[in-house]
């Protein structure tokens, strides 16, 4: 799981300076039913014969920019940071609580 921060300081071409940009997950637009490839595919199917970009937006000037976070199976936007030995500490505190009560 790749954890990506919700904001990132990157260069804005419009303002020509580094500013904080809001990160959102890229969503594909709706496919047109009448594009040449779709029409060809539908024609072929009729009858008896029978594939996480991220969109980088700076809130002040609104010039959109795509920033690829390379390839990963799962990405999480603004999740909790991992800490060393976090699971062990949680289990130990859980055991201590059960003993006290």
Greater pLDDT, 33 or 88: 33
**Could you give the CA distance from residue 99 to residue 101 in angstroms, rounded to a whole number?**
6
The pLDDT assigned to 32 comes to: 92
User: Looking at domain 2-50+52-100, does it have CATH number 3.10.450.80?
Assistant: yes
Tell me what pLDDT residue 5 has. Answer: 79
Name the nearest CA neighbour of 55 among 4, 2, 18, 15: 4
**Spans of all domains in the chain:** 2-50+52-100
What is the per-residue pLDDT across 19-75, written as a single tens digit (0 to 9) for each? 888 877 777 889 899 999 889 888 877 877 663 445 555 566 666 666 676 677 777
Torsion angle, CA of 63/68/72/77, rounded to 10 degrees?
A: -20
Beta strand pairing call for 2-4 and 75-77: parallel
Instruction: Note if the pTM is more than 0.85.
Output: no
């Amino acid at each position: 799981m790749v954890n990506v921060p919700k904001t990132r300081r990157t260069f804005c071409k419009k303002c020509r300076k580094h500013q904080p940009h809001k990160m959102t997950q890229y969503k594909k637009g709706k496919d047109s039913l009448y594009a040449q490839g779709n029409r060809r595919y539908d024609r072929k199917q009729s009858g008896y014969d029978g594939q996480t970009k991220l969109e980088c937006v700076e809130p002040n000037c609104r010039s959109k920019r795509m920033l690829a976070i390379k390839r990963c199976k799962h990405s999480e936007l603004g999740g909790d940071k991992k800490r060393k030995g976090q699971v062990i500490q949680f289990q130990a505190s859980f055991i201590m609580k059960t003993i006290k009560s």
